[in-house]
Amino acid sequence: MKQILVMAPCRREHREMLEQAAQGSCHFIYNEHPSLSDMESAEVIIGQPDISMLQDCTRLQWVQMTCAGADMYTRFPGFPEQVTLTTASGAFGSVIAEYAFAGILSLFRHLSSYREQQQLAVWQDCGAERTIEGSEVLILGAGDIGENIARRMQAFGATVTGIRRTVCDLPEGFDAMAGMHALDALLTQADIVVCCLPHTPETVHLLNRERLMRMKPEAVLVNVGRGTLIDTNALADVIANGHLLGAVLDVTDPEPLPADHPLWSFDRVVLTPHIAGPSFHHSPLTEDKIFRICSDNLSCYLAGQPLHNVVNWQTGYSTP
């Protein structure tokens, strides 16, 4: 029987989901900290094993990740060439979109200031507020996360433009789509810029000091992709000098952000520790989505059908 090693936390209903997909043709090992023998016997691993653990896994054919980004493997050498890598892209779009809106609305409606006033029992108007309605929104990345954010932005009354590597269609939620060549021009027009791009050689410091300064002085920057997309020190300088209304950052470069970094001290920055797409022990609904993707892919694997979300090692992206 095929050996399936599940390294992700797995509730009873998710075990049943996986085993139903296997239809009795597989032996499952559920162990978040597997032994060497467990690793060596596995044909399939569900989870994120350390890349150094894979060198002796001669039977391994496929690693199904339980997260959406594959850069923990694509950024470093050593992943076995014969092993297929797939992600859980499609599980996190909704919950990350909610995070993005929470951060934006917090800045637009001065919620952190009102919270401080509440603690002091102060009843005072904090002044002019912004709305998402009527805003020009630029979304970098039009995959699952970008599409989920775009649909919600449209529902709020915003006009949404997307940027992607290949402009082949207009996904739901977008009013327009452009290629990377249009980034500099579009940054000057956006009231809200949301970054959903993965880490690739092309995206590192895509938003450098020059491009950050191209943004409107009262624009808001959101990053729910990878921290390396933004020059972190340049962003701190730009905000310190009064450019940009603020930033919502769930990811930084480096992670964790050093305790003495100036971004921690800005009241116009919402800074969280890479939790926008919570999965295990945070969001049961997201866990259900993750294991549904894993189960569907396992059915495809056992039937000899093409897998979903296969990582392209040249681009760093996965294909739905």
**Residues whose CB falls within 8 Å of the CB of residue 74, separated by 6 or more in sequence, listed in order:** 199, 200, 311, 313, 316
14: which strand partners?
Answer: none
Out of 33, 226, 281, 292, the active site residue is 226
CB atoms within 10 A of CB 98: 14
Out of 151, 243, 261, 274, the active site residue is 274
CB 173 within 8 A of CB 150: yes
Report d(CA 146, CA 90) in Å as an integer.
Answer: 11
CB 298 within 8 A of CB 4: yes
Q: Are strands 310-311 and 318-319 parallel, antiparallel or unpaired?
A: antiparallel
CB 154 within 8 A of CB 192: no
Report d(CA 98, CA 118) in Å as an integer.
Answer: 24
243 in active site: no
CB 299 within 8 A of CB 21: yes
274 in active site: yes
Residue type, 193: V
**C-alpha pair distances (Å), 227 with each of 102, 169, 237, 275, 300:** 19, 27, 16, 13, 33
Return the active site residues. 226, 274
